Amino acid sequence: MLLWYAGLSVVIVYFVFQSAGVDYRLVAVGSLLPAAGIVVLEELAGLAACAWIAVRFGLTDRARRDDFLRTGRLRATTPS
């Protein structure tokens, strides 16, 4: 997904400036810097979602985890 940012920025700079003096490698790296923070936040949100799912469906218990791996079905735990 990050390559979309880099590739699109190089194409836009090429068509706008059409200069032989522009170093497109620097343009590609510069386009990734703002996106890196967003990607980190998305990864942290995904990690939090996985942790919530593991706790919500009792996958911290080995027997329930083995049952999930064997059947492919998650069963909700009863609230305590």
* pLDDT one-digit tens code per residue, 56-76: 888 899 999 899 899 988 877
Query: What tokens were used for 38?
Result: 């967003």
**Rounded-to-integer distance, Cα 75 and Cα 42, Å:** 27
Cα R_g (the chain), whole angstroms: 22
Domain limits, the chain: 2-71
When pLDDT is cut at 50, 70 and 90, the band that residue 22 belongs to is: low
Helices (H), 2-78: 2-17, 24-56, 62-71
Query: What tokens were used for 54?
Result: 């593991």
0.75 surpassed by pTM: no
Query: What tokens were used for 21?
Result: 């003096």
- What type of residue is 12? I
